[in-house]
Structure 1
Amino acid sequence: MNVVYKPLLFFQKHGYYVCQRIADRFGIRAKVVRISFMYLTFVTLGFGFALYLFLAFWIHIKDLLYTKRSSVFDL
């Protein structure tokens, strides 16, 4: 059973972060975003999953480009 739970916990820890960031951005609950992605995936036969991967990639690139600096001397 550990073989099943390890990947599940990995995806829950890292994959749900995308939904959390989107929910924080729009000011809604993360659960609503996750459920909407699930429905979108089932209705459009995989488009929701592709959109999710695109948003995860976009957030990762944005985090790499825009880093928060605490002062002027951090350049």
Structure 2
Amino acid sequence: MNFFYNILYYFQKRGFEVCRRIAERFGIRARIVRTSFIYLTFATLGFGFALYLFLAFWLKIKDLVYTKRTSVFDL
């Protein structure tokens, strides 16, 4: 049981935070977005999980490409 909690803690601590970022973008609670992904995954037999992974990698790449610089001298 401890192994399960270690995995859960790892993903909560270092995950991609897709649901939180989508929720902030639309101005809704992250809990609603998470439950929507869960229901979508069960209803479409895995499409929600595939969509979640796609968004996670897309957001990660977007963060790597578009970095916020405070001034011109941060190059």
TM-score greater than 0.5 by the shorter chain: yes
Instruction: Give the structure 2 partner of residue 57 of structure 1.
Output: 57
- Pick closer, same or farther for the CA change 1:69–1:62 going to 2, 3 Å: same
> Is 2:40–2:47's contact at 8 Å kept on the other side of the alignment?
yes
Q: Return the offset for 1:16.
A: 6.5
Aligned length: 75
Compare 54-63 and 7-16 and name the one that shifted more: 7-16
Q: Return the offset for 1:70.
A: 0.7
Q: Select the structure that is richer in helix.
A: 1
Whichever residue aligns with residue 46 of structure 1, its letter is G
Distance 1:39 1:4 in 2: 22
Whichever residue aligns with residue 73 of structure 2, its letter is F
- Pick closer, same or farther for the CA change 1:69–1:51 going to 2, 3 Å: same
- 5+ residue gaps, structure 2, are none
How does the TM-score come out when normalised to structure 2? 0.92
Quote the RMSD (CA, aligned, Å): 1.2
Query: Which portions of structure 1, spanning 4 or more consecutive aligned residues, are displaced by more than 2 angstroms?
Result: 12-16
Distance 1:74 1:15 in 2: 27
How does the TM-score come out when normalised to structure 1? 0.92
Question: Residue by residue, what CA displacement relative to the aligned partner does 1:9-66 show, whole Å, maximum 9, x if unpaired?
Answer: 1122233611001111111110000000000000000000000000000000000000
Instruction: Give the structure 2 partner of residue 67 of structure 1.
Output: 67
